[in-house]
């Protein structure tokens, strides 16, 4: 992928870009050429850009980690892949490589950002619910990407250029977007959407406890060691859910989590606040998390410390956690990666705390980020041990479509940088309706009442943010 530097300031408004685009058009070698333009812009909030620029019929992607001061929004599609099946990660990799082979990048910033590909995979490699609003794989290169690292913000505009492309129009669109972003104002609808109805929850919880008991019998008979069972909660509101305010609430309530929102451009959005990173790769440095084993946060410091200590020392929680860190470590070794496993510690969120083992490694250049995602997903933090048996039972016991719940969601770029999180603590939003998802790991010694309490705690954290 060739990268051309370019002089800032004069770039957008003084035709330098226009001349470059027309040069690209005259020299289109193949059928078409992707041109990726990266421009430094004033500091903006990508969430507000998303609210103001994305149209309801446009696909979009939003990703933020407030504690790291990083946020990214991607709006509209230049090219995309939707597929499914056992080979889906390899297909996604192939699609991205073939797009990059026809991409030329030009930028005004000294650290110009290369185009990112935004991906959502489903938990299983096929979607079984016929009207589920997302496919088993979506990978897209957006028209507009706004990436912010602290106050440093970059707009990336991607264009597909062929002999027939109207360059005047394309150039005007870019100027218009830059102008719009420079004059953004946040407009709140200020609706009071607090009245909501939850149906059938008592009956659903009763059935869920029965399923946990059946799984404990399978664990007792050594059929498997661990299974992660999830529970959906359906909520209907008086008014359509305000996505922007809900996401703003999520990032304020869970500053240490990854806040995400994926729109399918047809009215449905999958959103959440996940504490679990599947992979992050920056300059060939890989970081991943083993996150499993949970306790509530205490109401007082003394209670919090007591709960933290019992989480750190509980045999049952340690076992639930260890199967995850062992699995991740083995997967990495099998890929030829030598991980450095840091000592287990606590990951304390606003309402819940987890056992957490950070795992790091220097990546060999031949390993593609999606190969690691393919090997790791689903980890025993969201599936179980053994993985195949746990997945079969998840399909048997769970009567709802997991879809994007507990699945890899993230992006990768041309330099091999990448971030994927696990889509837990999430919800499918469809106008005035939300389906919230949360799960819990079941191992020997699990107590159905306590597992249900843990799931309700996780659901409450999400429910509190939705307005
Ligand atoms: C599967 C979920 O959480 C996983 C991640 C952290 C702790 C977990 C637990 O303690 O059960 C789960 O393994 C979920 O929140 O839906």
pLDDT of 3 over the 70 cut: no
- Mean predicted confidence (pLDDT) in 23-48: 86
Catalytic residue among 16, 201, 202, 226: 226
Q: What is the pLDDT of residue 6?
A: 45
pLDDT of 341 over the 60 cut: yes
Cβ of 440 closer than 6 Å to ligand 1, yes or no, is yes
| Spatial distance between the Cα atoms of 242 and 414, rounded to a whole number of angstroms | 34
- The topology under which CATH files domain 196-463 is Anthranilate synthase (3.60.120)
pLDDT of 351 over the 70 cut: yes
How confident is residue 196, by pLDDT bands cut at 50, 70 and 90?
confident
pLDDT of 71 over the 90 cut: yes
Mean pLDDT of the chain: 92
pLDDT of 43 over the 50 cut: yes
Among candidate residues 393, 426, 391, the one with its CA nearest the CA of residue 408: 426
Q: Ligand 1: which atom is nearest the Cα of residue 441?
A: 11
Catalytic residue among 40, 276, 398, 451: 276
| Spatial distance between the Cα atoms of 328 and 90, rounded to a whole number of angstroms | 20
Q: What is the pLDDT of residue 110?
A: 59
Q: What is the pLDDT of residue 9?
A: 46
Instruction: Report how far ligand 1's centroid is from the alpha carbon of 424 (Å).
Output: 8
| Spatial distance between the Cα atoms of 72 and 317, rounded to a whole number of angstroms | 35
pLDDT digits (tens, 9 = 90+) for 138-181: 999 999 999 999 989 999 999 999 988 999 999 888 888 988 88
Instruction: Report how far ligand 1's centroid is from the alpha carbon of 409 (Å).
Output: 16
Cβ of 425 closer than 6 Å to ligand 1, yes or no, is yes
Cβ of 455 closer than 6 Å to ligand 1, yes or no, is no
Cβ of 380 closer than 6 Å to ligand 1, yes or no, is no
pLDDT of 220 over the 90 cut: yes
Q: What is the pLDDT of residue 16?
A: 78
Residue among 254, 292, 357 whose CB has most ligand 1 atoms within 8 A, to mutate: 292
Cβ of 439 closer than 6 Å to ligand 1, yes or no, is yes
Protein residue whose Cα sits closest to atom 4 of ligand 1 = 381
pLDDT digits (tens, 9 = 90+) for 156-166: 999 999 988 99
Element (H, E) at 167: helix 167-182
How confident is residue 11, by pLDDT bands cut at 50, 70 and 90?
low
pLDDT of 274 over the 60 cut: yes
Q: What percent of the chain has pLDDT over 70?
A: 93
Domain regions of the chain by residue span: 3-182, 196-463
- Mean predicted confidence (pLDDT) in 435-442: 97
Q: Is the dihedral of CA 52, 53, 59, 64 positive or negative?
A: negative
Cβ of 294 closer than 6 Å to ligand 1, yes or no, is yes
Q: Ligand 1: which atom is nearest the Cα of residue 292?
A: 7
How confident is residue 19, by pLDDT bands cut at 50, 70 and 90?
confident
Within a 13 Å sphere around the CA of 461, how many CA atoms are in the beta-carbon half? Answer: 29
pLDDT of 457 over the 80 cut: yes
Element (H, E) at 141: strand 137-149
Q: What is the pLDDT of residue 171?
A: 87
How confident is residue 368, by pLDDT bands cut at 50, 70 and 90?
very high
| Spatial distance between the Cα atoms of 350 and 43, rounded to a whole number of angstroms | 28
Phi, psi of 354 (to 5 degrees): -130, 155
How confident is residue 445, by pLDDT bands cut at 50, 70 and 90?
very high
Cβ of 50 closer than 6 Å to ligand 1, yes or no, is no
Instruction: Report how far ligand 1's centroid is from the alpha carbon of 32 (Å).
Output: 45
Whether 226 sits among the annotated catalytic residues: the reply is yes
Cβ of 458 closer than 6 Å to ligand 1, yes or no, is yes
Instruction: Report how far ligand 1's centroid is from the alpha carbon of 300 (Å).
Output: 24
pLDDT of 7 over the 70 cut: no
Full-prediction pTM beyond 0.90?
Answer: yes
Whether 239 sits among the annotated catalytic residues: the reply is no
Cβ of 276 closer than 6 Å to ligand 1, yes or no, is yes
- Mean predicted confidence (pLDDT) in 347-370: 95
Q: Ligand 1: which atom is nearest the Cα of residue 317?
A: 10
How confident is residue 209, by pLDDT bands cut at 50, 70 and 90?
very high
pLDDT digits (tens, 9 = 90+) for 409-424: 999 999 999 999 999 9
| Spatial distance between the Cα atoms of 326 and 380, rounded to a whole number of angstroms | 10
| Spatial distance between the Cα atoms of 359 and 362, rounded to a whole number of angstroms | 11
Residue pair 117/141 in contact (Cβ under 8 Å)? The answer is: yes
Q: What is the pLDDT of residue 256?
A: 93
């Amino acid at each position: 992928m060739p990268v051309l530097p370019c002089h800032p300031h004069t770039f957008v408004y003084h035709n330098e870009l226009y001349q470059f685009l027309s040069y690209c058009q005259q020299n289109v070698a193949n059928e078409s050429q992707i041109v990726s333009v990266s421009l430094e812009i004033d500091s903006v909030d990508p969430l507000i850009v998303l609210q103001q620029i994305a149209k309801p019929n446009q696909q979009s992607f939003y990703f933020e980690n407030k504690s790291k001061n990083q946020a990214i929004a991607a709006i509209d599609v230049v090219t995309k892949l939707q597929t499914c099946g056992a080979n889906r990660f390899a297909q996604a990799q192939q699609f991205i490589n073939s797009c990059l082979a026809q991409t030329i990048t030009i930028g005004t910033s000294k650290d110009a950002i290369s185009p990112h590909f935004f991906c959502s995979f489903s938990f299983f490699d096929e979607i079984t619910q016929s009207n589920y609003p997302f496919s088993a794989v979506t990978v897209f290169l957006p028209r507009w990407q706004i990436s912010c690292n602290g106050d440093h913000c970059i707009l990336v505009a991607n264009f597909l250029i062929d002999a027939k492309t109207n360059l005047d129009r394309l150039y005007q669109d870019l100027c218009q977007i830059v102008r719009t972003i420079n004059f953004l104002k946040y407009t709140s609808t200020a609706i009071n959407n607090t009245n909501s109805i939850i149906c059938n929850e008592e009956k659903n919880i009763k059935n869920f406890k029965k399923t946990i008991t059946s799984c404990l019998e399978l664990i007792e008979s050594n059929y498997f060691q661990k299974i992660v069972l999830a529970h959906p909660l359906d909520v209907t509101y008086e008014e359509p859910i305000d996505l922007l305010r809900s996401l703003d609430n999520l990032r304020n309530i869970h500053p240490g989590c990854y806040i995400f929102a994926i729109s399918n451009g047809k009215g449905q959005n999958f959103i959440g606040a996940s504490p679990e990173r599947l992979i992050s790769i920056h300059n060939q440095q890989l970081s991943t998390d083993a996150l499993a084993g949970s306790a509530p946060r205490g109401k007082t410091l003394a209670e919090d410390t007591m709960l933290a200590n019992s989480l750190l020392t509980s045999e049952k929680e340690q076992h639930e956690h260890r199967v995850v860190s062992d699995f991740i470590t083995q997967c990495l070794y099998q890929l030829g990666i030598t991980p450095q496993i840091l000592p287990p510690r606590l990951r304390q969120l606003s309402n819940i705390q987890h056992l957490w083992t950070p795992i790091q490694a220097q990546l060999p250049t031949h390993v593609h980020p999606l190969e690691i995602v393919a090997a790791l997903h689903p980890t025993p933090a969201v599936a179980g041990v053994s993985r195949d048996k746990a997945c079969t039972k998840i399909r048997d016991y769970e009567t709802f479509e997991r879809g994007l719940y507990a699945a890899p969601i993230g992006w990768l770029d041309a330099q091999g940088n990448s971030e994927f999180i696990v889509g837990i603590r999430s919800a499918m939003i469809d106008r005035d309706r939300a389906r919230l998802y949360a799960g819990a790991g079941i191992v020997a010694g699990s107590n159905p009442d306590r597992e249900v309490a843990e799931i309700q705690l996780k659901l409450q954290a999400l429910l509190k943010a939705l307005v």
